[in-house]
């Protein structure tokens, strides 16, 4: 199998350089290729990434948002015929064993699942409330609905291809997977060194909660896709 690791970013090349050294070339004999999607970053050091062996770089000339950058990378991996697609946030410095643990459940042709890599940590009140709302509305019971570390087989991508251009794409992907009967598997990744998470403003949480309710209504009416979430 051919595995694509997608890294959407707007800046932070030093973190990406460190992350690239931790991505294994293979998992259980299956080859890994890396694709960095530069969402119109002003960080000129990102220009050198495509000189690294095994790394492709796709660039947006205009910033479209992290959700759009992730979709650009996944679209490219899908059309290039990769069998497994993984998404990594460059801010979360995953170790090679974390990446192997994320991908390994998908190294069977029959694997019909979305795999989420989560780190055990103390969740904020807002995170708990958001996870509970997603669980109540869509019956998705996982530790961290906003975890950006995830992987899925190529065959599932058209079913979970999101419309959100923001980080809401992480929740939208889960909602679409639940709606379409796709198994969601959580994998603990204990060796991860993470940056301090961005504090989400109350207005952003309220906006996301309203979006979740709108999605619930849309899906209950038989709508197959979800409208993009407007940026706050």
Per-residue pLDDT of 24-65, as tens digits, reads 999 999 999 999 999 988 766 667 777 788 889 999 989 999
Whole-model pTM: value is 0.86
Task: Determine the longest span between alpha carbons in the chain, in angstroms.
Answer: 49
Question: What is the 3 state secondary structure string of the chain?
Answer: CEEEEEEEECCCHHHHHHHHHHCCCEECCEEEEEEEEEECCCCHHHHHHHHCCCEEEEEECCCCCHHHHHHHHHHHHHHCCCCEEEECCCCEECCHHHHHHHHHHHCCCCCCEEEEEECCCCCCHHHHHHHHHHHHHHCCCCCCCCCCCEEEEHHHHHHHCCCCCCCCHHHHHHHHHHHCCCEEEEEECCCCEECCCCCCCHHHHHHHHHHHHHHHHHHHCCCCCCCCCCCC
Pairwise CA distance, residues 195 & 48, whole Å: 24
Is 171 in contact with 111 (CB distance < 8 Å)?
A: no
For residue 83, what pLDDT band results from cuts at 50, 70 and 90? very high
Q: Structural domain boundaries of the chain?
A: 2-220
Burial 198-224 (b: 16+ CB within 10 A, else e): eebeeebbebbeebbeebeeebeeeee
Per-residue pLDDT of 117-157, as tens digits, reads 988 765 565 678 888 888 888 888 888 888 889 999 999 99
pLDDT at 195: 45
Per-residue pLDDT of 188-207, as tens digits, reads 886 555 444 444 556 667 77
Per-residue pLDDT of 55-77, as tens digits, reads 899 999 899 999 999 999 999 99
Burial 142-165 (b: 16+ CB within 10 A, else e): eebbbbbbbbbbbebbebbbbbbb
> Is the pLDDT at 171 greater than 70, yes or no?
yes
> Is the pLDDT at 87 greater than 90, yes or no?
yes
User: What share of the chain has pLDDT > 90, as a percent?
Assistant: 38
pLDDT at 197: 47
Which option is the CATH number for 2-220: 3.40.50.620, 3.90.550.10, 3.40.50.360, 2.40.50.100?
A: 3.90.550.10
């Amino acid at each position: 199998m051919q595995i694509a690791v997608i890294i959407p970013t707007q800046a932070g090349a030093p973190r990406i350089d460190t992350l690239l050294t931790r991505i294994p070339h293979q998992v259980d004999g299956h080859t890994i290729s890396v694709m960095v999607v530069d969402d119109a970053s002003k960080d000129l050091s990102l220009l050198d990434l495509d000189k690294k062996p095994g790394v492709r770089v796709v660039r947006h000339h205009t910033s479209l948002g992290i959700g759009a950058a992730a979709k650009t990378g996944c679209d490219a991996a899908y059309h290039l015929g990769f069998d497994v697609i993984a998404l990594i946030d460059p801010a979360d410095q995953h170790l090679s064993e974390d990446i192997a643990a994320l991908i390994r459940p998908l190294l069977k042709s029959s694997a019909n699942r979305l795999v989420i890599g989560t780190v055990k940590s103390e969740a904020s009140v807002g995170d708990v409330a958001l996870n509970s709302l997603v669980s109540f509305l869509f019956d998705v019971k996982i530790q961290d609905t906003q975890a950006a570390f995830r992987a899925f087989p190529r065959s599932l991508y058209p079913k979970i291809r999101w419309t959100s251009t923001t980080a809401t794409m992480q929740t939208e992907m889960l909602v679409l997977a639940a709606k379409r009967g796709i198994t969601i598997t959580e994998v603990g990744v204990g060796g991860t060194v993470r940056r301090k998470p961005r504090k989400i403003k109350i207005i952003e949480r309220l906006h996301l909660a309203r979006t979740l309710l709108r999605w619930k209504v849309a899906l209950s009416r038989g709508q197959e896709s979800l409208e993009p979430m407007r940026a706050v």
